[in-house]
Amino acid sequence: MVPRHSFSRSSFILLLSILVSSAQSQVDPWQMTNGPRGGRAYAIAATGTCLLSGCGYSECIYRSTDQGKSWRASNNGISASLTVYCFLVKGSSIFAGGLAGLHRSTDDGLTWEDRTSYGGIYSLMSYGNYLWAATNSGVLSSTNEGQTWTPASSTFPGWTGRTVFSVFMLNGTIFAGTYGGGLYASTDNGTSWTSRYSEPQYGAVTCLAVEGGNFYAGTTGGLLVSTDSGVNWTPVAMLKGTVIEAILIHGAEAFLATNGRGVLYSNSHGSNWTEHNHGLINSYVLSLGADHNSIYAGTYDTGICKSEDSGLNWEEINEGLLRVGTGQLLIVGSAIYAAGEGIYIY
């Protein structure tokens, strides 16, 4: 099981993450680029001067300097096959995390250096001088721009080497969502941790998000809500047993991507949730994203849907898109890039 970056969890299922710089002005069919082929692309990122794609085969990182029209393998310094699940761009450094560990580039992705031997890097986050990595061996932290990394979760109460899927910072407190171990928090930059929620029926903490005064934790057993910055958590009774794949906060609205219940919507700060699924092609929704005008929903192996009315109605936008294996979405300017079985432009 692989978590999302920021709001996502699975490497073998759809991951959707959208970065927005302007609204899309017209609708065109998807066109496949000459990008990475022969395996799945799990992550895509923009550095300002190029695009990077993280893949799941031997040539694990590809780079484009012409807005995605052409791609070249860019693996200088990577000695092993590295399935890349996530990127983090911080200043002049780019970090790529995946199965074989963590690599850093300081020349816009042309060359890479190995920064840690810890495998299973699922998500990355930066806050102030700190970098944080969620891994299958816990939480790692760095205070020197990723030169060295230190295990930061050995002081979890009752720690048994659980996988950490997500890391999140709120009001100076770092939160770590685990697989089967609940939710932990640290107020001293990872020196010590306390358990904030550990009911076993809620399984894995897959995603974390903030909306107004509410702090949401999506799990494989439902949704948890905190109104005091994560000190105390309350399960949402009507969502018990629902697998939450992703959380999207869009203004004063909150959306949940679920396995089996489609998209759930709230404009009441999470006190009530309704299904917004009219026109949605699959109730197994794995990811959500938004630009200025639209909401996007990525479904399991049936492609992508778009809504312009807060999810009340959805339309399929799959013309020219190979639905099986569709991966992350990235919006840059007026272009949408989809990483899946190759790279597509919309």
Q: What is the pLDDT of residues 102-153, one digit of tens each?
A: 889 999 999 999 887 677 888 999 988 899 999 888 899 999 888 888 888 7
Backbone angles phi, psi at 197, to 5 degrees: -165, 130
Domain boundaries, the chain: 31-345
Give the homologous superfamily in CATH for domain 31-345.
YVTN repeat-like/Quinoprotein amine dehydrogenase (2.130.10.10)
d(CA 59, CA 152): 31
- Please check whether residue 332 is in contact with residue 19, taking contact to mean a CB–CB distance below 8 angstroms: yes
Q: Cβ contacts of residue 91 below 8 Å, gap of 6+?
A: 145
d(CA 303, CA 326): 7
Residue 171, phi-psi category: left (phi > 0), alpha (psi -120 to 50), beta (remainder): left
Say what the pLDDT of residue 85 is.
Answer: 86
d(CA 108, CA 299): 32
Q: Please report, as a single letter, which amino acid is at residue 158.
A: G
Taking CB atoms within 8 Å and a gap of at least 24, the contacts of 197-201 are 197/224, 197/233, 199/235
Nearest CA to 152 out of 129, 116, 122, 176 is that of: 176
Q: Which residues pair with 195 in a beta bridge?
A: 184
Element (H, E) at 205: strand 205-211
Backbone angles phi, psi at 330, to 5 degrees: -135, 125
Element (H, E) at 255: strand 253-258
Say what the pLDDT of residue 23 is.
Answer: 36
- Please check whether residue 55 is in contact with residue 71, taking contact to mean a CB–CB distance below 8 angstroms: no
Work out whether strand 214-219 and strand 222-226 pair parallel, antiparallel, or are unpaired: antiparallel
Say what the pLDDT of residue 265 is.
Answer: 97
d(CA 303, CA 285): 10
Say what the pLDDT of residue 58 is.
Answer: 63
DSSP designation for 201: G
306-340: pLDDT as tens digits: 999 999 999 998 887 765 444 566 777 777 777 76
Ranges of the chain whose pLDDT falls below 50: 1-27, 324-326
pLDDT, the chain, mean: 82
Say what the pLDDT of residue 159 is.
Answer: 66
Say what the pLDDT of residue 137 is.
Answer: 83
